[in-house]
Chain A
Amino acid sequence: MNETAQAETGFFAEEMTISVGPQHPSTHGVLRFVVKTDGEVINEAIPDVGYLHRSIEKIGEKVTYHGYVPYTDRADYLAAMFANQAFCLAAEKLAKTEVTRRGEFCRVIACELNRIASHLISVGTFGQDIGAMTPFVHALRERETINNLMEEICGARLTYNYIRIGGVGYDILPETCTKIVEFLDHFEPIVDEFNRLLSGNKIFIERLAGVAVVTKEEAFSYNLVGPNLRGSGVKWDIRRDIPYSIYPELEFDVPIGTAHVGKLGDSFDRFWVRIREMQESCKILRQCLKMMPKGPAIAKVPRKFRPPAGECYARVEAPRGDMGFYVVSDGSEYPYRVRIRTGSFTAMAIIDKLSKGIMLADLIALIGSLDVDAPEIDR
Chain B
Amino acid sequence: MDAKDIYAALEKQFPGKVSEFKGEILEPYLSVDGASIVEVCRYLRDSAGLNFAVLSDLTALDWPKEEKIQVVYHLFSYSHNHQIVLKVDLPRANPKIATVEGVWKVANWFEREVYDLFGVIFEGHSDLRRIMLPEDWVGYPLRKDYVEEEEYDGISTQRAPLVEKLLR
Which A residues are within 8 Å of any B CB, using their own CB? Answer: 49-50, 53, 55, 57-58, 61, 93-94, 218, 220-223, 234, 236, 241-242, 310-313, 315, 322, 324, 326, 328, 336-337, 339, 341, 345-346, 348-350, 353, 378
Which B residues are within 8 Å of any A CB, using their own CB? Answer: 25-27, 29, 53-57, 59, 61-62, 72, 74, 78, 81, 85, 104-106, 108-109, 113, 117, 130-134, 141-142, 144
7 nearest interchain CB pairs? A349-B109, A223-B106, A50-B132, A53-B132, A341-B57, A220-B53, A221-B105
Q: How far is the CB of A167 from chain B (nearest CB, A)?
A: 21
Which residues of A have CB within 8 Å of B25? 310
Docked-complex contact A50 and B57, CB < 8 angstroms: no
A223 to B54, CA, bound (A): 6
Docked-complex contact A234 and B132, CB < 8 angstroms: no
Interface Cβ pair total, 8 Å cutoff:
81
Q: Which residue of B lies closest to A353 (CB)?
A: B105
Could you list 21 examples of A-B contacts with CB < 8 Å?
Answer: A50-B132, A58-B142, A61-B144, A93-B26, A220-B53, A221-B53, A221-B54, A222-B106, A223-B55, A223-B104, A310-B25, A312-B26, A313-B27, A313-B74, A322-B56, A326-B57, A326-B74, A328-B61, A337-B61, A349-B108, A378-B132
Docked-complex contact A57 and B142, CB < 8 angstroms: yes
Interface centre among B54, B85, B108 (most CB of A within 10 A): B54
Q: A222-B104, A223-B104, A349-B108 are in contact. List 17 more A-B contacts (CB 8 A).
A: A50-B133, A53-B133, A58-B141, A220-B54, A220-B78, A221-B104, A236-B78, A311-B26, A311-B29, A313-B57, A322-B56, A328-B61, A339-B57, A339-B59, A341-B57, A346-B106, A349-B105
Q: Which residue of B lies closest to A336 (CB)?
A: B61
Docked-complex contact B81 and A49, CB < 8 angstroms: no
Which residues of A have CB within 8 Å of B27? 310-313
Q: How far is the CB of A270 from chain B (nearest CB, A)?
A: 17
Docked-complex contact B142 and A234, CB < 8 angstroms: no
Which residues of B have CB within 8 Å of A337? 61-62
A236 to B77, CA, bound (A): 11
A311 to B29, CA, bound (A): 10
Which residues of A have CB within 8 Å of B133? 50, 53
A328 to B132, CA, bound (A): 22
Docked-complex contact B56 and A324, CB < 8 angstroms: yes
Which residues of B have CB within 8 Å of A241? 81
A285 to B115, CA, bound (A): 42
